[in-house]
A and B are shown apart, each in its own frame.
Chain A
Amino acid sequence: MTRRIVGPFNRVEGDLEVTLEIEGGRVAAAFVNAPLYRGFEQILEGKAPLDALVFVPRICGICSVAQSAAAARALADAAGIAPPSNGRLAANLTLAIENLADHLTHFYLFFMPDFAAAEYAGASWYAEVSAQFGAQSGQAGRQALAARARFMQAMGLLAGKWPHTLAVQPGGTTRPLAESELFRLQRIVREFRAFLEARLFGSPLETIAGLDGQTALERWRRQDRAGDLRFFLELADRLDLWSLGQSGARFLSVGAYDEEGGKCLFAPGTWYEGRVLPFDPSQVREDLSHARYASAQTAQRPEEERTVPLYDKPGAYSWCKAPRLGGEICETGALARQLVDGQPLVGDIVGRRGAGVGARVLARLLEFARVVPALQRWLDAFDPEGAWCTAAPLAENCLGKGFVEAARGALGHWLTVHQGRIGGYQIIAPTTWNFSPRAADGRPGALEQALVGLPVPEQGRVPAVVHHVVRSFDPCMVCTVH
């Protein structure tokens, strides 16, 4: 058996290393290491509760609004309030724009450049991949970067700036929009839609959102050859990205984007082998047995947990904790959201081909087609005379929890207020679920399982398949370890 430390992975957010145990040219076991610790949960203790809104966005530069939104929800929960309709719509828009921008960054700048790796140089599609998706030089990547910069201008209007806005508050948002500004936002979303329809899909968004299974997808693919999605599907077939990198975990979604009447655009729940069950937050525990923290004997409820770093702890190999839901390992992200929501194309693909690299990327791209029309609907729903932000007075002693779907999946914040100050603050980020180390039972986390069986030589270059599997989760390591 050979042990290889593989890293640093770039084109992921933050720092990542993976230790691979290789036997007979295949990965026998993988140990995922998040090698950075900053201590946000420690820093927050003793602060004024609303100061969390200054600190938590700064956990992460790529999904700062998601952190902000989770904190705002935890504070709203603690105060027992809900934002008015305008505040809810503006918070949806702010979070959805960040999530979509993340999907764009992931596909064009982080994931696709791996197909321009030297080992694929002999492939018939290599010249096109390099020209379109080569890191820095690829035309598609450059166009996506320009489209993203324009799309993020919506954040200037909605949230003042991005990243690290303070606009998302427990009681709504701080930026009331005038009708003329709503017009400007609609312009920006229309431009983004045009980019997606021309460049990514080569089809109207409604056509993509309406594909209800593999048969419909194949029929659509044959119509003509334009669009980056078709190109991705071709690569996925040729390289069998469908069966590659399956985690075998349960899928978790906490539900995304509040609609009127307490519904979500994407429903919450868990999915396992075709069955959907409700998400019960009281079943969440964090196990620290292989994480670099002083730990209690058993896995802790986030409400009771303290974060005490312990670099030299025996047996520990990551700053990432091991969250479990009812003792089970979960995978979270766009694929989980779409499976739990019952989206028929994703359900059919996973049923036939499995929940691997191909399904993860397809689910993410599908969200463009499902969310952009929702953005337009939300922009039409603002009430120019309605309220935006209600006050959120907090009791001296209270607690709250807040859940949102970040681009990468379920994000939870647990807040305890003691004598007017933050007594405890715990965060479980999407990649904390996906890139979790082993728990006390020794069972590996989702990525650790997804890497097992991949062909990796004992020496020499790390093959591209490892990169495909790792990046298919769109990891955000800074959130993971906070």
Chain B
Amino acid sequence: MKLIWLQSGGCGGCTLSWLGYAHGPLLEVLAEVGIELVWHPSLSAASCDEALALLEACARGAKPFDILCVEGALLRGPWLDQLPSGNFHRFGGGESMLDWVLRLAMRARHVVAIGSCAAFGGITAAGGNPTDAAGLQHDGEIGGGVLGPYFRDPTGLPVINVSGCPPHPDWITETLALLAQGRLTPESLDEFGRPRFFAERLVHHGCPRNEYYEFKAGAEHFGQQGCLMENLGCKGTQAHADCNLRLWNGEGSCLRGGFPCIRCTEPEFEEPGHPFHTTPKVAGIPIGLPADMPKAWFVALAALSKSATPPRVKENATAERLRRAPSVKRTKK
């Protein structure tokens, strides 16, 4: 399948994350599943007029291609005469990137949003959203985006949202591979258009700090080993992604790196309504509860587990390294 990749109002971090793909040489892995990069801004030889001519032929339908990947939010502003000008991002001396994306999306067999900016608007849409940034098919949580809520590709798929800021290189590669193999159906996607293979897990799953979570033994400052949910704003129990099962850059994840999950695969993660590194609480109980957890039960269990916290767990939670190891039990007396 022939693939075109464009970057709009993002940071290029999705591409850079992708280049860290660890399960084999990326370019060979793509070739194996039959993906050919027609144009990619970081990897292609064609530049300037040559690149424009190539993209123009694709946009006119003269040169068929299959997959359009878009990285970065679509910038609709500034508005001129009550119309979105797209002038915050012009590409190749003339048209806005918004127009390029709209024209190419109509010719593509599949449209893939790479990263939370292209999917939902992402970080570029934060604050007062100065550029009127939106995703391809979502404007935050709301369906729509620049392609509209009813967009479907010729095979019946909506925009495929490989969200994340950035997305894990496996999420991108595996989504493209499934697409190239014809294995991605509307049922493969969740209600935000995210492939279920990574979005039907929670970041909390596989978190190495789970014992601290069980006993509500929270870290109080960065660098400490305890659970980051109680005091430091971690949203791992509410974020859909398999970051702690799949791991990043060999053996990392945000939680393994000692900092809280900011829910970067979710629409509108950029505006949590409170400072990122703090946990909003009412009467000492965090207000953002784990997905699917009834509040009364959470409060009851938290109170119970807190009173049962082993001294070892309590002490280690606020230390930068293990102070007390689990006791060794001998079975032979």
Contact = CB atoms under 8 A, between A and B. Distances in A.
Interface of A: 5-11, 13-15, 17, 35-39, 42-48, 50-51, 53-55, 58-62, 64, 105, 109-110, 113, 116-117, 134-136, 142, 145-146, 148-149, 152-157, 159-167, 169, 171-176, 178, 309, 311, 384, 387-389, 391, 461-462, 467, 478
A135 B90 CA distance: 25
A38 B259 contact: no
A316 to B, nearest CB: 12
B322 to A, nearest CB: 8
B256 A160 contact: yes
B27 A145 contact: yes
Contacts of A154: 249
A6 B88 contact: no
B245 interface: no
Given A10-B47, A64-B13, A136-B27, 10 more contacts: A9-B47, A10-B41, A11-B44, A136-B44, A146-B25, A161-B253, A164-B165, A164-B166, A311-B85, A384-B321
Given A8-B51, A43-B130, A157-B251, A174 B258 contact: yes
A14 B7 contact: yes
B16 A17 contact: no
B325 interface: no
A178 B256 CA distance: 13
B89 A478 contact: no
18 contacts: A14-B7, A36-B75, A36-B89, A43-B123, A58-B123, A58-B165, A61-B15, A134-B45, A135-B44, A149-B21, A149-B26, A156-B250, A163-B16, A164-B264, A175-B258, A176-B258, A384-B321, A391-B221
Contact of A174 (B22, B37, B223, B243): B223
A149 B29 CA distance: 14
A155 B249 CA distance: 6
B131 A37 contact: yes
Contacts of B247: 156
Interface in B272-295: 275-278
Contact of A58 (B11, B19, B78): B11
B160 interface: no
A260 B18 CA distance: 36
Given A36-B9, A157-B251, A175 B131 contact: no
B127 A47 contact: yes
A58 B13 contact: yes
A17 B276 CA distance: 36
B51 A10 contact: yes
Contacts of A175: 223, 256-258
A6 B50 CA distance: 11
A174 B259 contact: yes
A389 B222 contact: yes
A14 B320 CA distance: 39
A391 B222 CA distance: 8
Given A7-B93, A161-B248, A145 B25 contact: yes
Given A136-B43, A149-B20, A153-B22, A46 B127 contact: yes
Given A58-B11, A167-B257, A309-B130, A142 B251 contact: no
Contact of A142 (B25, B41, B47): B25
B127 A388 contact: no
B214 to A, nearest CB: 22
Contacts of A136: 27, 37, 43-45
Nearest to B261: A166
Enumerate the 3 nearest inter-chain pairs by beta-carbon distance, A residue then B residue, closest first. A160-B257, A61-B13, A156-B252
B153 to A, nearest CB: 26
Q: Which one of B48, B50, B75, B260 has the highest number of Cβ atoms from chain A below 10 Å of its Cβ?
A: B48
Interface string B211-222: 000000000011
Contact of A8 (B92, B124, B223, B257): B92
B253 A467 contact: no
Q: How large is the interface on B (under 10, 10 to 19, 20 to 34, 35 or more residues)?
A: 35 or more
A160 B259 contact: yes
B309 interface: no
B259 A166 contact: yes
Main secondary structure, interface of B, reads loop
B42 interface: yes
B259 A61 contact: no
Contacts of A135: 43-45
Contacts of A162: 17, 20, 248-249
Contact of B43 (A109, A156, A387): A109
Nearest to B269: A54
Contacts of B91: 8, 15, 35
Interface string B155-170: 0000000000110000
Contacts of A36: 8-9, 75, 88-89
B227 interface: no
B14 to A, nearest CB: 7
Contacts of A389: 221-223, 320
B191 interface: no
B3 to A, nearest CB: 12
Nearest to B28: A142
A17 B92 contact: yes
A88 to B, nearest CB: 14
B173 interface: no
A9 B48 contact: yes
Interface string B27-68: 110000000010111111111111110000000000000000
B11 to A, nearest CB: 4
B89 A37 contact: yes
A51 B13 CA distance: 19
A116 B253 contact: no
A47 B247 CA distance: 30
Q: Which one of A10, A135, A136, A478 has the highest number of Cβ atoms from chain B below 10 Å of its Cβ?
A: A10
B254 interface: yes
Nearest to A163: B13
Nearest to B90: A35
Contact of B93 (A5, A43, A62): A5
A176 B25 contact: no
A461 B27 contact: no
B276 A54 contact: yes
A388 B47 contact: no
Contacts of B12: 13-14, 60-62, 478
B109 to A, nearest CB: 22
Given A35-B91, A61-B16, A311-B87, A43 B126 contact: yes
Q: Which one of B11, B15, B26, B124 has the highest number of Cβ atoms from chain A below 10 Å of its Cβ?
A: B11
Given A44-B127, A391-B221, A148 B48 contact: no
Contacts of B8: 36
Contacts of B41: 8, 10-11
A167 B258 contact: yes
Contacts of A164: 13, 165-166, 264
A38 B12 CA distance: 13
B131 A39 contact: yes
Contacts of A14: 7, 12
Nearest to B258: A174
A424 B48 CA distance: 37
A11 B243 CA distance: 29
B317 interface: no
A173 B278 CA distance: 18
